[in-house]
Amino acid sequence: MRDSCDVLCAGIVVADHICTPISHLPAAGELVLADRLLLTIGGCAANVAVNLGKLGVRAMVLGRVGDDVFGRVVGEMLRGQGVGVAGLQTSPGVDTSQTLIVNVAGQDRRFIHTFGANALFSAADIPLELAKRCLVLYLGGYLLMPGVRPGELADVFAAARREGVRTVVDVVTPGPGDYLARLREVLPHVDVFLPNNHEAELITGETDPLRQAEVFHGLGARTSIVTLGGDGAVVVGEGVRLRAGAFAVPFVDGSGGGDAFAAGYVAGLLEGRDAEGCLRLASALGASCVQAVGTTTGVFTRSQCEEFLHTHSLHVETI
């Protein structure tokens, strides 16, 4: 019986401190006013779980927080969004992971991050019995968590896939590093791999998104999707090579856009959509996210997403 949840969202959980767009970065000693400062849910696992919930998908978070006020707030926020938190562990004596997100009007975001409890997360925090009963096992923030070892993670994914569970992986790359060594064992057990083009370049050394996607597919990922922000995405899979544009929407804050895309793609998988159908749903959810401040604030509900797809078109071409 798959009675636990539809999707297990494992990986990084973060308390985000985020400002509405400010006019400029402050100089030393200068005070710059923002309309609002928000404390919100952040981190790939938490964001994807919340976004899936908005689409009516049952999701549970597997992750770690500290025994501080931010850990309690994150747990309360997730519960308030209807997300399962039975797999959210508290690590004594450790801070909850946090990110300070600075939005400057007309510029890309700036991030200041502390690993906190996420550094303690490991593949052992993904219970095999739970993983075998879900429909999709998603891991977000791989490569950022030093405790997640490739061989152990590959074993978990392989066991889940033997039960018919689909596996989805997103990454976070904190600067240059030998990331391919941590992916070679894992990618053969991954159904959907979802880096952005900047992460993919750090991993592969390739600058062309299509070539990046081909490299990951060649290493074993069944479907490789390289997201390009406002320029869309490239998909390479078994008999599938697609390039999509992006929906034209007012841009406010890019925080969480990639996680919204991932949630949309996972929802598409659950609905039995083909790669193009999943891509359209993912792109719509990503477009909704960037229209509001925060990682999940503006993400569409199911009815909003369906209405948006009915009234907006997305260019998708075979390459």
The DSSP symbol for 176 reads S
Task: Report the pLDDT averaged over residues 41-68.
Answer: 96
Q: What is the crossing angle of helices 257-271 and 275-289, to 10°?
A: 150
**Whether the Cβ atoms of residue 16 and residue 67 lie closer than 8 Å to each other:** no
* Distance separating alpha carbons of residues 228 and 305, to the nearest angstrom: 21
Among the listed residues 135, 182, 184, the one whose alpha carbon sits nearest the alpha carbon of residue 161: 135
CATH superfamily of 7-25+35-318: Ribokinase (3.40.1190.20)
pLDDT digits (tens, 9 = 90+) for 209-267: 999 999 999 999 999 999 999 999 999 999 999 999 999 999 988 889 999 999 999 99
pLDDT digits (tens, 9 = 90+) for 280-303: 999 999 999 999 988 899 999 999
- pLDDT surpasses 50 at 3: no
What is the pLDDT of the chain when averaged over all its residues? 95
In 16-149, where does DSSP find H-type helix?
44-54, 69-80, 128-133
When mean pLDDT is compared across 101-115, 140-154, 181-195, the lowest value belongs to: 101-115
pLDDT digits (tens, 9 = 90+) for 61-90: 999 999 999 999 999 999 999 999 999 999
Task: Report the pLDDT averaged over residues 126-147.
Answer: 95
- Predicted confidence at residue 4, as pLDDT, reads 63
Confidence of residue 137 (pLDDT cuts 50, 70, 90): very high
* Contacts of the segment 197-205: beta carbons below 8 A, 24+ positions apart: 197/226, 197/227, 197/228, 197/229, 198/173, 199/171, 199/172, 199/173, 200/226, 202/173, 202/175, 202/176, 202/177, 203/171, 203/173, 203/179, 204/180
Task: Report the pLDDT averaged over residues 120-132.
Answer: 95
Side chain identity at 307, as an amino acid letter?
E
Task: Report the pLDDT averaged over residues 178-201.
Answer: 97
Among the listed residues 232, 212, 226, 225, the one whose alpha carbon sits nearest the alpha carbon of residue 286: 232
Residues forming the active site: 259
In the chain, where does DSSP find H-type helix?
44-54, 69-80, 128-133, 150-162, 180-183, 197-204, 209-218, 257-271, 275-289, 302-311
- Neighbour-count burial of 277, counting CB atoms closer than 10 A to its CB (0-12 exposed, 13-18 middle, 19+ buried): middle
Among the listed residues 57, 30, 27, 29, the one whose alpha carbon sits nearest the alpha carbon of residue 268: 57
Furthest CA-CA distance within the chain: 59
Residues found in the chain: 319
- Predicted confidence at residue 1, as pLDDT, reads 33
Residues 6 or more apart in contact with residue 94 via CB below 8 angstroms: 64, 66, 67, 116, 117, 120
Q: Where are the domains positioned within the chain?
A: 7-25+35-318
Beta partners for residue 90, in sequence order: 65
Q: Kindly state the tokens that stand for 113.
A: 């991050």
* Distance separating alpha carbons of residues 123 and 132, to the nearest angstrom: 14
Side chain identity at 266, as an amino acid letter?
V
Residues 6 or more apart in contact with residue 218 via CB below 8 angstroms: none
